[in-house]
């Protein structure tokens, strides 16, 4: 059985999208941090276009973005021949002068709603988000790559209001078949001043406090081990120096003693020979 939160989060999709024919901000269930400083996550247009889709014809959806301004309601997303415009982020100064195409994807079938059996599987979350959500401002490298090909979806400007529009394009003819209204203004976040950041521990979750405590303890033990290793290396160097000095003193004392013993033996031998010679000389005089 699917989780209750999944049914509550996804069960309203067909009804809400059929009533609100404009891009909608993604549910907080799937995008908890939305909008961010440079991104805005939207729901893809399920059952949003009022056209019949033949089986042998494919459609794609273009997502257009423009900075909220007074002329937004008159901003065109197709030319006089009903072909969709392909204005880029650079050509429109980031959506300030005209809408730019930020994304393009295959039209999701109205009957292909989220599979509630897969929502409870954490390994399927990334796939579900890619299938049912689109993130504006997700590509941080396309503006820096001169060889980039395709639709560039660069980061948005923080603390700025944007509007969005979905356009249905027939891939066979290239004509615009349908389009939604422009969305309500959605503003990206702005950086909070340092003094306004709440650092009170009561605002932190229990899991965050436990993880922080464990990491702090590990850092303490690592530093303690490093200090102990340094002290042990100094102690080992001092012990080796003392042993070397002790061995050198012993070797210096042994050599003089050995020489003294030899000299004493040599002197006693000489005196003994002198006494023997004196006795022989005395005996000769007496004779």
What confidence tens digit (pLDDT) does each residue in 128-161 have? 778 889 999 999 999 998 888 889 999 999 999 9
Q: Write b or e for each residue in 17-42: b if 16 or more Cβ atoms lie within 10 A of its Cβ, otherwise e.
A: beeeebbbbbbeebbeebbbebbbbb
Least Cα distance to 43 among 189, 181, 166 occurs for: 166
Tokens of 117: 């059996």
What letter does residue 242 receive in the DSSP assignment?
Answer: H
Q: How far apart are the first and last CA of the chain?
A: 140
Residue pair 206/183 in contact by the 8 Å Cβ criterion: no
Cα 166 from Cα 179, distance rounded (Å):
6
Could you tell me the pTM of the whole model? 0.61
Q: Which residue has the higher pLDDT, 59 or 120?
A: 59
Q: Is the pLDDT of residue 2 over 50?
A: no
Between CA 159 and CA 186 the distance in angstroms is: 10
pLDDT (tens digit, 9 = 90+) per residue, 84-105? 999 999 999 999 999 999 999 9
CA distances from 112 to 45, 108, 115, 179, 209 (A): 11, 7, 8, 20, 41
Burial group, residue 231, by CB count within 10 angstroms (0-12, 13-18, 19+): exposed
CA torsion through residues 266, 268, 269, 274, sign? positive
Interatomic CA distance for residues 67 and 74, integer angstroms: 13
Contacts for 55-58: CB closer than 8 Å, 24+ residues apart: 57/170, 57/171, 57/172, 58/106, 58/107, 58/171, 58/172
């Amino acid at each position: 059985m699917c989780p209750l939160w999944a049914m509550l989060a996804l069960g309203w999709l067909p009804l809400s999208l059929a009533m609100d024919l404009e891009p909608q901000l993604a549910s907080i269930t799937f995008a908890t941090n939305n909008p961010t400083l440079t991104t805005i996550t939207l729901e893809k247009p399920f059952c949003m276009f009022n056209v019949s889709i033949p089986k042998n014809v494919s459609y794609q959806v273009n997502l257009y973005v423009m900075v909220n301004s007074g002329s937004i309601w008159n901003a065109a997303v197709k030319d006089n021949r009903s072909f969709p415009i392909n204005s880029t982020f650079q050509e429109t100064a980031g959506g300030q002068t005209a809408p730019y195409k930020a994304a393009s994807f295959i039209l999701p079938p109205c009957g292909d709603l989220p599979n509630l059996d897969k929502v409870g599987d954490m390994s399927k979350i990334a796939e579900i988000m890619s299938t049912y959500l689109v993130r504006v401002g997700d590509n941080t490298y396309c503006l820096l790559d001169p060889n980039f090909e395709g639709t560039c979806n660069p980061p948005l400007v923080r603390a700025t209001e944007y509007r969005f529009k979905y356009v249905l394009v027939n891939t066979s003819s290239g004509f615009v078949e349908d389009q939604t209204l422009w969305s309500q203004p959605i503003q990206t976040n702005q950086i909070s001043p340092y003094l306004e950041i709440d650092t009170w521990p009561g605002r932190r979750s229990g899991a965050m406090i436990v993880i922080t405590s464990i990491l702090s303890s590990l850092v303490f033990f690592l530093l303690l081990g490093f200090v102990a290793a340094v002290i042990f290396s100094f102690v080992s160097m001092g012990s080796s120096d003392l042993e070397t000095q002790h061995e050198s003193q012993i070797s210096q004392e042994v050599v003089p003693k050995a020489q003294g013993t030899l000299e004493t033996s040599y002197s006693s031998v000489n005196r003994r020979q002198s006494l023997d010679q004196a006795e022989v000389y005395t005996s000769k005089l007496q004779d």
